[in-house]
């Protein structure tokens, strides 16, 4: 049985991030291409390519998602965020044609998470981006389900190689269900005491009397 | 849930045994059992039946549906119809395994029954996968799980729930209004 002493927090996937999710923390480090709308005074040392004291308006630079989200405001135009390549028109057509051929791990690896986060930044393409992500998920679902439910006792690294992090989690869930059932069918599964009970620290009455 | 937990639940099912010992009525929290008289059939839970069987104190009468002909009918019906057909016992898989592993000598044609039940199981799981796939590809919001047994639900539960959750979240992205409302909560 797959028991852990703590419950890992799943990623938020949607526009919300889960604060305690390790996947979402890693996701927030993804770099986004941005263009500055104002001058950043005295921050020139951050931009290694120029020697000026300030970062001038209109500079193109890459920023992690967490910083871009913090700086982005609709009213005070601080910066504009451009869509990463995977979410742009060209790739959207590829996903529309056949989502199964794309190596999402190479393109992502947080394709779904980052795509949802991109909706924070105003862009006319947002509805299409959201729609493409959803359709990609649906299109790739069948293959994930079949491969995770049929690969018993074999090497799965080739199967998960091209999956996005979210899909890998799904794959693992499918595998754990299959493995548990197969183990039970072969008679290897036995009821085990829950970790919670084993680690129960409270003194028992019997121990106190002795 | 682990399959062995499902099996544990299945052990509460009643089965008929023919004891070869005599004992007065036993009063237990879960109900009264017995009295046991040699040669007279009684209904007991599977866990007790297996225990008595292992001590060679009884003979287990297989449930009515555990019969080659009936199972063949069920298998044919299962293959014919597109939806899940009603199954005679909600714990057919678990009971088959338990009884065949511990009391195969009391069940006629045990091997054939094992294969038949496995066939039925495989057909139903294939159907389940097919319906999950169409469920996802049509972006349905709810489904009826008629005639599915606990063990069948249990094998795909975590996978199905996780994927439905993800799909729901990705879909709520496409409707900006609802997502914006959520962010206002903070």
- CB B172 within 8 Å of CB A137: no
Q: Could you read off the pLDDT of A138-179 as tens digits, one per residue?
A: 888 888 888 888 877 778 788 888 888 888 888 988 888 888
Mean pLDDT of A4-21: 78
pLDDT digits (tens, 9 = 90+) for B42-71: 999 999 999 999 999 999 998 888 888 999
From the list B157, B167, B173, the residue facing A119 with the nearest CB is: B173
Residue percentage of chain A with pLDDT more than 70: 92
In the predicted structure, residue A3 carries a pLDDT above the cut 70: no
What would the pLDDT profile of B77-121 be if each residue is shown by its tens digit? 988 988 888 888 889 899 999 998 888 888 888 889 999 999 999
pLDDT attached to residue A203 = 67
In a domain, B183, yes or no: no
CATH number at residue B90: 1.20.58.1020
Element (H, E) at B72: helix B68-80
Measured between beta carbons, the chain B residues lying within 8 angstroms of A145 are: 129, 132-133, 159, 163
Question: Does residue B183 surpass a pLDDT of 50?
Answer: no
Indicate yes or no: CB of B170 within 8 angstroms of CB of A134.
Answer: yes
> Residue B16's pLDDT is what?
92
Question: Number of Cβ pairs closer than 8 Å across A and B?
Answer: 107
pLDDT of residue A199: 73
* Residue B104 neighbours by CB under 8 Å, 6+ apart: B110
In chain A, what are the domains? 89-185 (1.20.58.2050)
With beta carbons under 8 A apart, name residues in chain A contacting B183.
Answer: 15-16
Q: Is B7 on the interface with A (CB under 8 A)?
A: yes
Question: Does a structural domain hold residue B92?
Answer: yes
Q: Please check whether residue B169 touches A, CB under 8 A.
A: yes
Q: Kindly list the residues from chain B whose CB atom is less than 8 angstroms away from the CB atom of residue A15.
A: 173, 179, 182-183
pLDDT the model gives residue B46: 92
pLDDT of residue B184: 41
Q: Note whether A165 and A11 are within 8 A (CB).
A: yes
- Is B127 within a domain? yes
User: Looking at residue B53, what is its pLDDT?
Assistant: 92
Minimal CA separation from B24 to chain A, in Å: 31
| Gap from B119 CA to chain A (nearest CA, Å) | 14
Which residues on chain A are in Cβ contact (under 8 Å) with B166? Answer: 13, 112, 137, 166, 170
- Residue B60 domain flag: yes
Summary mean pLDDT of chain A: 83
Which pLDDT tens digit goes with each residue over B151-180? 888 888 888 888 888 888 888 888 766 544
Task: Give the tens place of pLDDT for each residue, A90-149.
Answer: 888 888 888 888 888 888 788 888 888 888 888 888 888 888 888 888 888 888 888 888
Q: Which pLDDT value is given to residue A180?
A: 87
- Whether residue B101 is contained in a domain is answered as yes
What is the predicted pLDDT for the residue at B45? Answer: 92
- Please check whether residue B108 lies inside any domain of the structure: yes
pLDDT surpasses 60 at A1: no
Q: What is the mean pLDDT of residues B130-148?
A: 82
Domain presence at residue B83? yes
Which DSSP string do the residues of chain A spell out, in sequence order?
----SS-PPPP--SSSPPTT-HHHHHHTT-EEEEEESS-BTT-GGG-TT---SSB-TT-EEEEEHHHHHHH--SSS--EEEPPPGGGSHHHHHHHHH-GGGS-HHHH-SSHHHHHHHGGGS--TTHHHHHHHHHHHHHHHHHHHHHHHHH--SS--HHHHTT--HHHHHHHHHHHHHHHHHHHHHHT-------HHHHT--SPPHHHHH-
What is the number of other CB atoms lying within 10 angstroms of the CB of residue B66? 24
Q: Please state the domain count of chain B.
A: 1
What is the average pLDDT value for chain B, to the nearest integer?
86
Structural domain boundaries, residue B68: 3-175
- The b/e string for B16-47 (b: 16+ C-beta within 10 A; e otherwise) is bbbbeeeeeeeeeeeeebbebeeeeebebbbe
Question: Is B14 among the domain residues?
Answer: yes
């Amino acid at each position: 049985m797959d028991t852990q002493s703590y419950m890992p927090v799943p990623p938020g996937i949607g526009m919300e991030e889960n604060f305690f999710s390790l996947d979402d923390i890693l996701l927030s480090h993804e770099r986004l291409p941005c263009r500055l709308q104002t001058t950043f005074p005295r921050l020139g040392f951050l931009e290694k390519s120029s020697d000026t004291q300030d970062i001038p308006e209109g500079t193109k630079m890459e920023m992690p998602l967490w910083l871009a989200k913090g700086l982005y405001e609709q009213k005070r135009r601080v910066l504009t965020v451009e869509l990463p390549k995977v979410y742009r028109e060209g790739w959207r057509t590829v996903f529309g044609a056949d989502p199964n051929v794309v190596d999402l791990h190479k393109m992502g690896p947080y394709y779904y998470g980052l795509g949802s986060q991109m909706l924070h930044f105003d862009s006319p393409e947002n509805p299409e981006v959201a729609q493409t992500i959803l359709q990609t998920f649906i299109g790739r679902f069948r293959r994930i389900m079949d491969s995770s439910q049929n690969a018993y006792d074999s090497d799965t690294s080739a199967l998960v190689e091209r999956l996005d992090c979210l899909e890998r989690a799904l794959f693992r869930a499918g595998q754990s269900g299959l493995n548990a059932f197969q183990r039970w069918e072969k008679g290897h599964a036995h009821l085990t005491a829950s970790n919670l009970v084993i680690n129960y620290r409270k003194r028992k009455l019997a121990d106190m009397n002795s | 849930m682990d399959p062995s937990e499902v099996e544990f639940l299945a052990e509460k099912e009643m089965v008929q045994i023919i004891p070869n010992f005599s004992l007065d009525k036993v009063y237990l929290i879960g109900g009264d059992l017995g009295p046991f008289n040699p040669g007279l059939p009684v209904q007991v839970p599977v866990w007790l039946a297996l225990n008595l069987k292992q001590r060679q104190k009884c003979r287990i009468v297989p449930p009515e549906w555990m019969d080659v002909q009936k199972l063949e009918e069920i298998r044919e019906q299962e293959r014919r119809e597109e939806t899940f057909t009603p199954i005679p016992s909600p714990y057919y898989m678990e009971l088959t395994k338990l009884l065949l592993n511990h009391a195969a000598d009391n069940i006629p044609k045990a091997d054939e029954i094992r294969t038949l039940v496995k066939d039925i199981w495989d057909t139903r799981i294939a159907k389940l996968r097919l319906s999950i796939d169409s469920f996802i590809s049509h972006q349905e919001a709810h489904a009826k799980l008629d005639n599915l047994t606990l063990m069948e639900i249990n094998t795909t539960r975590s996978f199905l729930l996780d994927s439905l959750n993800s799909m729901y979240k990705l879909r709520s992205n496409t409707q900006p209004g609802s997502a914006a409302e959520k962010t206002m909560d903070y």
